[in-house]
């Protein structure tokens, strides 16, 4: 009898201990479903790096930035933050367009650009006045507009993106390089286009080599140029090398000495960058900047070549929202009509 009583006491103690263990686990252990969700969120947060994309919204061509943003947003799962830069009078229009379309879901900030920073730095030129618009120089002032990011993508508004913008953002920049750009000689497939419409792809087409200041740079006129309408920037290097101050110096020199002008191939925003970044930039994948689509209303690339392109750029006079222009179907598929009706496409039947 005493033995049975002792066994019962032991069993009772074991039962109490088991209950205590169960209660402890219920109180202190995260349920498995919640733990899985937490792990998923943590992994998601680790992967959700913000990709800042800077693009300008200019009055009169507002539909361009809408198509560009839509093409980027539709072709990536990345967390893109759009910095949309405009002048004060154009900001309400672009905000209304975004908020009243499917683009209301994008992550964006609208930044006002103060054109007073350009005072005394732009030489008046009547041949192509559109190239003197203040927003053409936003790319010079990235650190003033974008503060918290180490790496930034800058895009002209006359582009559409067919690839995942994450790929462009992942471009490796060499130590000491403040930007990665696409060299005008990097893609043999474009050389025939360049020759057929008489475009320049060397420094000779952008700088006036009759001027002693230009010759003193020691840059061969046959050096391949680049197009700064698409680039990835390292903001730490940009600030460390005082790139903005260097660009402003050459803008002021041009005002004084007329070293370059819009009558040359690339206008007035490309030339200072060619000088400052000479032999000091990394390369982006050439397929991330297929350009010259706006250079001629008659010359076209092959459809197969354009299908492989990651980014298309209608640099030149002939824009895809206007007429005449080429490959407009590739651009128009990303265009979202203006809810206010102010911006309209120009087509042969309109």
Q: Which two tokens stand for residue 297?
A: 């209303």
Question: According to CATH, what is the number of the domain 49-331?
Answer: 3.90.550.10
Could you tell me the CA-to-CA distances from 243 to 1, 203, 239 in Å, in that order?
A: 95, 20, 6
Q: What is the pTM of this model?
A: 0.84
User: Nearest CA to 273 among 207, 188, 186?
Assistant: 207
Q: Which two tokens stand for residue 44?
A: 């998601």
Q: How many CB atoms lie within 10 A of CB 49?
A: 11
Task: Please list the pLDDT of the chain residue by residue as tens digits (350 residues).
Answer: 555 555 466 655 556 556 555 555 544 433 332 223 322 333 344 446 999 999 999 999 999 999 999 999 999 999 999 999 999 999 999 999 999 999 999 999 999 999 999 999 988 764 566 667 899 999 999 999 998 999 999 999 999 999 999 999 999 999 999 999 999 886 655 555 555 545 678 898 899 999 999 999 999 999 999 999 999 999 999 999 999 999 999 999 999 999 986 555 556 899 999 999 999 999 999 999 999 899 889 888 899 999 999 999 999 899 999 999 999 999 999 999 999 999 999 999 86
Q: Tokens 């979202």 sit at which residue?
A: 336
């Amino acid at each position: 009898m005493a033995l049975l009583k002792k066994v019962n006491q032991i069993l009772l103690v074991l039962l109490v201990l088991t209950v205590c263990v169960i209660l402890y686990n219920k109180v202190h252990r995260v349920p498995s479903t919640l733990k899985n969700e937490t792990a998923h969120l943590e992994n998601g947060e680790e992967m959700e790096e913000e990709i800042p994309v800077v693009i300008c919204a200019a009055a009169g061509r507002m539909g361009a930035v809408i198509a560009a943003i839509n093409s980027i947003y539709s072709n990536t799962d990345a967390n893109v933050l759009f910095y949309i830069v405009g002048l004060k009078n154009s900001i309400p229009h672009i905000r209304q367009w975004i908020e009243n379309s499917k683009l209301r879901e994008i992550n964006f900030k609208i930044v006002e650009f103060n054109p007073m920073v350009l005072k005394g730095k732009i030489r008046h030129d009547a041949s192509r006045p559109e190239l003197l618009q203040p927003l053409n120089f936003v790319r010079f002032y990235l650190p003033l507009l974008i503060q918290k990011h180490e790496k930034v993508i800058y895009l002209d508004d006359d582009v559409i993106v067919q690839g995942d913008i994450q790929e462009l953002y992942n471009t490796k920049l060499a130590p000491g390089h403040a930007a990665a750009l696409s060299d005008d000689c990097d893609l043999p497939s474009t050389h025939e286009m360049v020759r057929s419409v008489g475009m320049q792809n060397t420094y000779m087409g952008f700088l006036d080599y009759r001027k002693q200041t230009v010759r003193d740079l020691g840059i061969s006129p046959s050096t391949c140029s680049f197009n700064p309408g698409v680039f990835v920037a390292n903001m730490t290097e940009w600030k460390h090398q005082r790139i903005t101050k260097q660009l402003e110096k050459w803008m002021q020199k041009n005002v004084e000495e007329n070293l370059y002008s819009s009558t040359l191939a690339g206008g007035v925003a490309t030339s200072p960058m060619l000088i400052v970044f000479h032999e000091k930039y990394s390369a982006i994948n050439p397929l991330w900047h297929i350009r010259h689509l706006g250079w001629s209303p008659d010359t076209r690339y092959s459809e197969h070549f354009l299908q492989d392109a990651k980014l298309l750029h209608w640099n030149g006079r002939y824009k895809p929202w206007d007429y005449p222009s080429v490959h407009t179907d590739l651009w128009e598929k990303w265009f979202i009509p203006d809810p206010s009706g102010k911006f309209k496409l120009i087509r042969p039947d309109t």
